[in-house]
């Protein structure tokens, strides 16, 4: 299991992913779920992945192979982000056509979820969620974020805080709290984390960091958040059992 979240804000884009992959309690590995496709000054795209690791790695490898080909579309030549999302969906369908039946024969579902976000010169930053069959939806001002993987634990804080107008540093903080809530409740999600902050119209990677268990800011953030929750809980009035609910 994994957890990834991405936000499309007026100020830019925020991406965060964990890196834990497990096949049982005694077989835990680390694999990056964030891939960057960049031509500084022209375009900057980020792909997050969740689901079957062999499928997502096959899609990423196919996307990178296409970058080396002189014919056909690739993430360095498509005209806009919609075409980029369609290209990723096409590559996903190609992997499905090759592997889905073989996986089904062994009782394994074709399971993959992707988030693609970024900006290509001449248009706004955009964010898409791409499903296993290759179709996709786009984030809007009313729905400015997407999650894939183990999403339920980290969703409440996002719903309460994130809007399109949220400043990018505040959104990054919220994403980290969302991730901490998920790590706290699900052992299959864990450090290290990959975070990328993209400022609108930069057309290149901005801040990109790997957050490990030794990261001072993340440790302080999760400790303070836990303390704030406990304090807020203790300040709430106890039930008045004699009153009518």
pLDDT of residue 29: 61
CA–CA dist 69, 184 (Å, integer): 44
155: left (phi over 0), alpha (psi -120 to 50) or beta: alpha
Q: What is the pLDDT of residue 23?
A: 44
18 pLDDT more than 70: yes
Average pLDDT over residues 223-242: 94
Picking from 65, 68, 198, 194, the residue whose alpha carbon sits closest to that of residue 120 is: 198
Q: What local confidence, expressed as pLDDT, does residue 228 receive?
A: 97
Q: Is the pLDDT of residue 166 over 60?
A: yes
CB atoms within 10 A of CB 178: 25
- Model pLDDT, residue 46: 98
Question: Would you place residue 171 in the very low, low, confident or very high pLDDT band (cuts 50, 70, 90)?
Answer: very high
**What is the band of 22 on the pLDDT scale with cuts at 50, 70, 90?**
low
Give the chain's domains with CATH numbers.
3-235 (3.60.20.10)
Q: What is the pLDDT of residue 119?
A: 98
- pTM of the predicted protein model: 0.95
For 73-78, the CB contacts below 8 A with 24+ separation are 75/37, 75/43, 75/45, 76/37, 76/39, 76/43, 78/120
Residue 166: which region, alpha, beta or left (left: phi > 0; alpha: psi -120 to 50)?
Answer: beta
Give the residue-averaged pLDDT of 37-52.
Answer: 97
> What is the C-alpha separation between 68 and 225, in angstroms, rounded?
46
Q: Evaluate whether 192 touches 17 at the Cβ level (below 8 Å).
A: no
Residues 206-224: pLDDT tens digits? 999 999 999 999 999 999 9
| Highest-scoring range by mean pLDDT, 18-22, 67-71, 196-200 | 196-200
pLDDT at 26 over 70: no
Q: Is residue 142 scored above 80 in pLDDT?
A: yes
Give the confidence band of 132 by pLDDT, cuts at 50, 70, 90. very high
In whole angstroms, how far apart are CA 132 and each of 109, 150, 223? Answer: 10, 16, 37
pLDDT band for position 28 (50/70/90)? Answer: low
Show the tokens assigned to 86. Answer: 């369609």
């Amino acid at each position: 299991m994994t957890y990834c979240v991405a936000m499309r804000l007026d100020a830019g884009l925020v991406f965060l992913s964990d890196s834990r992959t497990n096949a049982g309690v005694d077989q835990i590995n680390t694999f990056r779920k964030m891939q960057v496709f960049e031509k500084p000054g022209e375009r900057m795209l980020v792909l997050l992945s969740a689901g079957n690791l062999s499928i997502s790695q096959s899609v990423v490898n196919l996307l990178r192979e296409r970058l080396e080909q002189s014919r056909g579309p690739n993430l360095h030549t498509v005209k806009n982000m919609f075409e980029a999302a369609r290209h990723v969906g096409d590559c996903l369908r190609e992997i499905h056509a090759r592997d889905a039946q073989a996986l089904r024969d062994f009782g394994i579902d074709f399971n993959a979820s992707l988030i693609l976000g970024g900006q290509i010169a001449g248009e706004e930053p955009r964010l898409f969620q791409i499903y296993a069959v290759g179709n996709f939806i786009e984030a809007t001002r009313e729905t400015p974020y997407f999650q894939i993987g183990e999403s339920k634990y980290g969703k409440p804080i996002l719903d309460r805080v994130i809007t399109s107008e949220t400043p990018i540093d505040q959104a990054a903080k919220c994403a980290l709290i969302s991730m901490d809530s998920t790590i706290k409740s699900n052992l299959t999600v864990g450090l290290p984390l990959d975070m990328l902050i993209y400022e609108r119209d930069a057309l290149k990677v901005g801040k990109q960091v790997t957050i490990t268990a030794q990261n001072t800011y993340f440790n302080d953030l999760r400790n303070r958040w836990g303390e704030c929750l406990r304090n807020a809980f203790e300040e709430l009035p106890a039930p008045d059992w004699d009153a009518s609910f």
